[in-house]
Structure 1
Amino acid sequence: MKRPLWRLLWNSKREAAFDVALVLGLQVLGRVMLFLFPSDIPAGTYDWAGGTWADALIMHALTLGLLVRRRFPVALMTCVAVLTLVQSVLIELGPGPLLVINRSTDPWMPATAPWTIYAAIRYAQPRRRWIFAWDLVAITSLLAVRPWAEPPGETLVNAVVLTVLPSVLALYARARHRLVDALRERAERAEREQELLAHQARADERTRLAAEMHDVVTHRVSLMVLQAGALGVAAQDPETRRAAGELRASGCEALEELRDLVGVLRSGSAEPAAPAEDAAPEAVPGIGQLVSQSEAVGVPVRLVEDGDPALVSAAVGRTAYRVVQEALTNVHKHAPGAAVTVRTIYSDERVRLFVRNSPPLLDAVPGLAGSGSGTGLLGLQQRVELVGGAFRAGATDEGGFEVDVILPAYVPTGEASADA
């Protein structure tokens, strides 16, 4: 995005509006002062009533220069100090002043000097330039006071008010700004520390859950698989052996998913990582099986697959499988007779998954629609976010329903790697 031009001079529109109003106000004020308070110095060769073209050009340039006072304060202060020195030399040596002076007691410096002094002390960075700005302010103040004049009188008062007062105000504003920055930085640091503590607490909880799942759930499922295998060997009835084999296969699949889930929990990161070059491809559940099962019970499903499913890791493939499974189950329950479209897009970096159904053509069966805990979509969202994905579900404009999921192509599962 292109940066606005006004950002080169100001940090906010408020600063820009203030500086523009300041310049316009000083332009008007200068002309009014010349008209209301004409000079009491003898004219000589100098046109005191209206000034000279040189005076007009210099004063207009200095006034317009206040627009850049926040970005180039030291440069402006240098111009004011040099002009004050030239003014004093020309008046003392006799040729006459370079800039208009209304009264003899006025300091011999440009009318914009107080604003320039304030800007130099307030905005000069870094410290060496700030010290140089103080040197310029000291020179300008000394020339404005004119200690060689006898007696100083009103000249001293005017010079002090127009040089020392802006310096004091600038020091106060600078100190206040630094205090505000320090408080803001402290607040941001405290917020970062809170985020780190919360992240550490989440990591500790993930580790605890992984340990519980590994030590309790995985152990119990492993025993079930072993017992099913033993039953299949010892059973004499073919039906019993077949049931034991199916139970053992389901248990092995559950163990595989548990290992992936425990690995994701222990990794402590939901960021996708690149798979190892020598990693062997793992089998993932086929979404086509779910489509065939739905069509077998009378739900028309259109499956569209783009890309190569082998590009994704097993953990991601199983998550996609569960998303489609839950979405189709919800169609069976709540949208009988609806047409369903399942589309998956596989790439090297991510998997995009859509499950969309049209409005239902029949009334839902009360007993079937009321079954379940009602937290299926919430559980899907948590499962998708666990592997670093994004989940969205909601009604469509046509009256149907859509589930939209984005998953990383690969998620590291340290537990599965270690068990392998």
Structure 2
Amino acid sequence: MTRPRWRDAFFLLSPFATVLGVMMVIWAVYGPPETFHEWTQTFIQLPSAVALLWHRKAPLLLLALCAASAIAMTVSAYTDPQLFVGDLNTNPQWVPLATPFAVGVAFKRIPGSCRMWACTALLIVISTRCWAPSFDAVTGGAFFTLFPALFGLYIGNRASLIRALTDRAERAEREQELLAEQARADERVRLAGEMHDVVTHRVSLMVLQAGALRITAPDDATRTAAEELREAGCQALDELRDLVGVLRAQSGADEEEQTDAVRLPDLAELVAESRGVGMSVELIVDGNPLLTAPVVGRTAYRVVQEALTNVRKHAPDARTRVHVRYGADRVRLTVRNGPSQRTGELGDSGSGTGLLGLRQRVELVSGRFTAAARPDGGFEVDAILPAFVPTTES
């Protein structure tokens, strides 16, 4: 929140007005200047007093003018007191009236300046007259220099602390906004992964079944309906690919969801679905699946599901073997298909992010994932998962 302009004007003009008011009071008590010496004693105050109007923009210049005036007054005190000082008994201070403001502003705005410290030290020495100390000189010097310095330092540190706290609050607010945006982006990526893993798998099965019906149907009407169903499924996969691309607008790893209370589908059912559309799939399971954590079982299911979906897309006539080995400390999945004699009808219908999504899923549970073509023309997907992954589930 910004301050009103009248407050800025008040704080800008108040030092100059204060010094001018003190000079007016002195004139009212002792009378206005009349002689040459009285005028020179007044003029020595003017440079630093006028410089108070720029105390925010040029605090060092103001302090230097005060120091120069103090030097001139000290020299005058030992050569010609009536030039700038006047009666030594009634004027114990040999520094200009603007000195307290100059010292306070300097310590508030430029506390780390070496020139500021040099000018302030000079003013303290002159105001307290360290070479000939007296009670009046020391107390007056402390009032003119030491107390304003401490007050200015306090105000400057307080302002710095307020700025730091404000910056920290604004930074925390920005971080909260970034975290919220990251959470939304991660949710989009998670939804994209789920959509790719689940919907693509089911729709591709539907398209393959429609294609098989088109070939085996006994009449033209059924074949025409099957062809329309197959084309609609392919179009749905294309639209799904575009939607997944939108949801993946911001790249990042999927947040691993907590395992549902519902038991996940068995791998045997997944393989049976692929066999039902004419694929040649063999499932080999070694070990006890119950020894693995639920999150690992879910990840294994997604790996096999996506691997079989890719085989249906790119090599539907290839012989495929799914080998799952459950060990005491790890689970290894291998989905290997042989060479294919023809390209699947769904080869260009995917989003192109299936293997990337699998790699992210596997790495989220601290596993290793590889996918590469084989020398015989086939393809192999290999994933090694830990048997147990700590979760926050109760």
Under a length normalisation based on structure 2, what TM-score does the superposition of the two structures give?
0.56
Q: Is 2:108 aligned against 1:122? A: yes
Deviation string 1:90-133 (CA, Å, 9 cap, x unpaired) is: 221116333788972341111111000001111016x2x1x431
Sort the Cα spacing of 1:55 and 1:250 in 2 relative to 1 into closer, same or farther, 3 A.
Answer: farther
The aligned amino acid for 1:416 is S
Q: Is the 8 A contact 1:19 1:66 kept in 2?
A: no
Q: CA offset at residue 204 of structure 1?
A: 3.0
- Where does residue 198 of structure 2 map in the other structure? 216
Deviates more, 1:14-23 or 1:153-162: 14-23
Sort the Cα spacing of 1:102 and 1:199 in 2 relative to 1 into closer, same or farther, 3 A.
Answer: farther
Unaligned 5+ segments in structure 1 are 1-9, 271-414
Q: Is 2:24 aligned against 1:32? A: yes
Q: CA offset at residue 24 of structure 1?
A: 5.3
CA distance in 1, matches of 2:47, 2:213: 99
Q: CA offset at residue 269 of structure 1?
A: 5.8
CA distance in 2, matches of 1:236, 1:173: 94
Q: CA offset at residue 30 of structure 1?
A: 3.6
CA distance in 2, matches of 1:139, 1:55: 22
Q: CA offset at residue 27 of structure 1?
A: 5.6
Aligned ranges for residues 253-332 of structure 1 at < 5 Å?
253-268=235-250
SS in structure 2 at match of 1:110:
coil
- Where does residue 13 of structure 2 map in the other structure? 21
- Where does residue 350 of structure 1 map in the other structure? none
CA distance in 2, matches of 1:185, 1:120: 24
Deviation string 1:63-114 (CA, Å, 9 cap, x unpaired) is: 3322322232122211111110111102211163337889723411111110
Aligned ranges for residues 7-406 of structure 1 at < 5 Å?
13=5, 16-23=8-15, 25-26=17-18, 28-38=20-30, 46-48=36-38, 51-52=39-40, 55-56=42-43, 59-94=45-80, 96-98=82-84, 104-124=90-110, 127=112, 129=113, 131-149=114-132, 152-268=134-250
Deviates more, 1:170-179 or 1:113-122: 170-179
Q: Is 2:351 aligned against 1:416? A: yes
SS in structure 1 at match of 2:187:
helix
CA distance in 1, matches of 2:226, 2:88: 109
The aligned amino acid for 1:19 is F
CA distance in 2, matches of 1:14, 1:123: 22
Unaligned 5+ segments in structure 2 are 253-349, 356-394
Sort the Cα spacing of 1:256 and 1:99 in 2 relative to 1 into closer, same or farther, 3 A.
Answer: farther
Q: Is the 8 A contact 2:94 2:127 kept in 1?
A: yes
The aligned amino acid for 2:51 is G
Sort the Cα spacing of 1:93 and 1:156 in 2 relative to 1 into closer, same or farther, 3 A.
Answer: same
Q: CA offset at residue 60 of structure 1?
A: 4.1
Q: Is the 8 A contact 1:26 1:63 kept in 2?
A: no
Q: CA offset at residue 161 of structure 1?
A: 0.9
SS in structure 2 at match of 1:109:
coil
Sort the Cα spacing of 1:217 and 1:123 in 2 relative to 1 into closer, same or farther, 3 A.
Answer: same
CA distance in 2, matches of 1:116, 1:204: 56
Q: Is the 8 A contact 1:73 1:116 kept in 2?
A: yes
The structure with more radius of gyration? 2
SS in structure 1 at match of 2:84:
coil
CA distance in 2, matches of 1:267, 1:72: 52
The aligned amino acid for 1:145 is T
Sort the Cα spacing of 1:25 and 1:185 in 2 relative to 1 into closer, same or farther, 3 A.
Answer: same
Sort the Cα spacing of 1:231 and 1:112 in 2 relative to 1 into closer, same or farther, 3 A.
Answer: same
CA distance in 1, matches of 2:222, 2:83: 116
The aligned amino acid for 1:142 is V
- Where does residue 401 of structure 1 map in the other structure? none
Sort the Cα spacing of 1:102 and 1:265 in 2 relative to 1 into closer, same or farther, 3 A.
Answer: farther
CA distance in 1, matches of 2:27, 2:104: 27
CA distance in 2, matches of 1:240, 1:207: 39
Q: Is the 8 A contact 2:76 2:85 kept in 1?
A: no
> Could you say what the CA RMSD is over the residues aligned between the two structures, in angstroms?
3.5
- Where does residue 324 of structure 1 map in the other structure? none
- Where does residue 385 of structure 1 map in the other structure? none
Sort the Cα spacing of 1:416 and 1:60 in 2 relative to 1 into closer, same or farther, 3 A.
Answer: farther
Sort the Cα spacing of 1:237 and 1:63 in 2 relative to 1 into closer, same or farther, 3 A.
Answer: farther
SS in structure 2 at match of 1:105:
coil
The aligned amino acid for 2:130 is P
Under a length normalisation based on structure 1, what TM-score does the superposition of the two structures give?
0.53
Sort the Cα spacing of 1:29 and 1:103 in 2 relative to 1 into closer, same or farther, 3 A.
Answer: farther
Sort the Cα spacing of 1:64 and 1:225 in 2 relative to 1 into closer, same or farther, 3 A.
Answer: farther
CA distance in 1, matches of 2:35, 2:5: 45
Sort the Cα spacing of 1:214 and 1:418 in 2 relative to 1 into closer, same or farther, 3 A.
Answer: closer
